[in-house]
A = this chain, B = another copy of it.
Amino acid sequence: MTDETPKSPTVKARLPRGLADRGPAEIAATNRMMGAIRESYELYGFEAVETPFIEYTEALGKFLPDLDRPNEGVFSFQDDDEQWLSLRYDLTAPLARYVAENYDKLAKPYRSYRAGFVFRNEKPGPGRFRQFMQFDADTVGSASVAADAEICMMAADTLEKLGIKRGEYLIKVNNRKVLDGVLEAAGLEGEGRAAQKLIVLRAIDKLDRLGSDGVRLLLGPGRKDESGDFTKGAALTSEAIDKVMSYFADQAIYAELPFRNRLLSHAADPRFPGRALDNMAVLDVFEAAVGNSAIGREGVNELREMVELFEASGYGSSQIKIDATVVRGLEYYTGPVYEAELTFEVKDEHGRPVRFGSVGGGGRYDGLVARFRGEPVPATGFSIGVSRLFAALKALKSPIVSGAQTRGPVVVLVMDKDQIAAYQGFVTQLRNAGVRAELYLGSAGMNAQLKYADKRGSVCAIIQGSNEREKGEVVIKDLVAGAQVASAAKDMDRNEYLALKQRAQFAVPAAGLVDAVKDVLGRY
C-alpha cells in the first residue's frame, strides 16, 4: 500500500494561530490543579454540570466580553435549517440557558461549577488564545449577598489549597451600585451621560497604573501619555473630580509611591504600618463618597453585610479586601464584583519582575437568566482563567503542578525478530504485575533501541540475546546507573566504580524478571 503514498507532502502540518497542543506533563499537572479546584468547590456544596460547546447564537445573546466590539469574537456557522449556531465564548451564557431550560427540576438556590474550553474568534497574540479553559462557579436563584460572600471565601480557600500562601493573593471586592452612587454623587446621572460614565469607569480602572494625578487628568480635560498620545477626558468639574477621588482615600495614600504593587501589598506592608485601612474603614470612605445616592448607599450596605460574613468566618482584610478600583469590564454585572489577584512577583527569563495579576473574577448578574424566563433570576458567579492560574502555580513551584516527572515505561528490546513472541511475553508479565512496560516496536538496532528508552525517560531496559536465551536468563539495564557510569569521574574509587557498573547491568534467570525489575524501579 505504501507505493500509493505521495512522494512530496501535499499539506503543511500546522496548528492554526492562537491554538495549542499539550503534552503529557502539562495535561497531568493541569488535571491535578483542576481536581483540587473541584474538591474545594464541592466542599462548598457546588455540583458539577456540563453543557455542550455549541449553542444557538441567540442564546449566547449580546453579552460579549469586549465592550468595544460587541458583535465580534464568536465562531459561528449556520445549521441545516439556517439557524445560527456558535461556539460558546464563556461558560456563563450557556449556564443561563441550562438553568432556564431546567428551571423546575433544579433545587434552588442552585450552586454549580463547570470547567471547559471556550472559544474567541479574535486576533491571537502572546498569551491570547482562541481556545482556552475556564473554571466557573455560580449560584443562581439567590438575591442574598451571602451568595457573593461565599464565592469570595471559596476563591480564597481554593487559591490556598493550590499552594498560594496568604499574602500572595488578594480577593478584591467592590459593588457596581457603589460605583453608580459615586457617579451620581458627582452629578453623572441619566441616560445622556452614559459615554461620560464609561470614561470615568475606565479612568478608575487605571489608578494603579497612572496614579491619582493621571486619573484626575482623565476625569477632567484629558491626558497626554509619554508617547504623546492624547486620551480624551470625562470633562468633569474640579468639584466632581474631588468627589470621585474622595472615593479612593484608601488607595490615594499610596497612589504616588514609586512601586507597582502598592495597591496589593498595603494590607500587610511593613513600610507603612497602620496606614492601610481595614475593610470597615474603607466602607466608611465609600459611604461618604456616595453621599445621598440611594443606589450608592444600598451598595455600601451590601458590602458591609459581606464584610460581616467574612469576619464571622475568619477571613481578614489580608485575604479579602474591599477595593475601590475593581470595576470589571462586563456590562451585565448589577451588584457585587470581585477579582482574584496574585500579588507576588516572580522574575521572567530576563530577570525582570513579573506579576500575574488577576487570575479570575466575577460578580452578580441578574439579567442573564431573565432573558429566557421573563422574570428576574438573581445570580452570581466566578470564573478562573485556568491557563493563567496554571502559569502562576508553575512560577510559584506549587507541588500541585510541579510533581515529580513521571518515569517512562520499562522497555523490552527486540534482539532477534523471530523471538518477538517471547519478548512480548516478558512485557505482558511486567504489565500483569502492574509495571508500565512496552515492547520496542520499531525496526532499529540495539543502540537506537537504548536511545529510544533514554528518550522515553525509562529507568530500565530488558535484553535477551541468544547467549542469554541459551542460559535461560535476561539482562537488566538500569539506565540511570548506566548514565552515572558513563559520566563517572576518572578518579572515582575503583570498588565504587565496579559496584556502580554491576548495578547498571546484570543478568537474572528469566523467571526472576519481574522481581528484578521491581528492585531496580525501587531504587529511584
Contact = CB atoms under 8 A, between A and B. Distances in A.
A13 B100 contact: yes
Contact of A11 (B59, B121, B157): B59
Interface string A43-61: 1110111111111101101
Contacts of A153: 428
Interface string A213-252: 0000000000000000000000000000000000000000
A27 B43 contact: no
Interface residues of A, number: 117
A144 B443 contact: yes
Interface in A129-172: 130-131, 139, 141-144, 146-147, 149-150, 153, 157
Interface in A443-461: 443, 452, 455-456
A343 interface: no
A117 interface: yes
A109 B453 CA distance: 11
Interface stretch (A14-22, A344-352, A482-490): A14-22
Contacts of A437: 43-45
A467 interface: no
A141 B11 CA distance: 19
B21 A50 contact: yes
Nearest to A314: B428
B424 A312 contact: yes
B139 A59 contact: no
Interface stretch (A77-85, A394-402, A501-509): A77-85
A5 B376 contact: yes
B370 A6 contact: yes
A190 to B, nearest CB: 15
A424 B149 contact: yes
Given A16-B56, A371-B6, A141 B366 contact: no
29 contacts: A1-B334, A1-B335, A6-B371, A9-B374, A10-B371, A10-B374, A11-B371, A13-B96, A14-B56, A14-B59, A14-B97, A19-B52, A21-B50, A42-B436, A43-B434, A43-B435, A43-B437, A45-B411, A45-B436, A54-B130, A54-B131, A75-B77, A109-B441, A142-B442, A150-B438, A150-B441, A309-B424, A312-B421, A313-B425
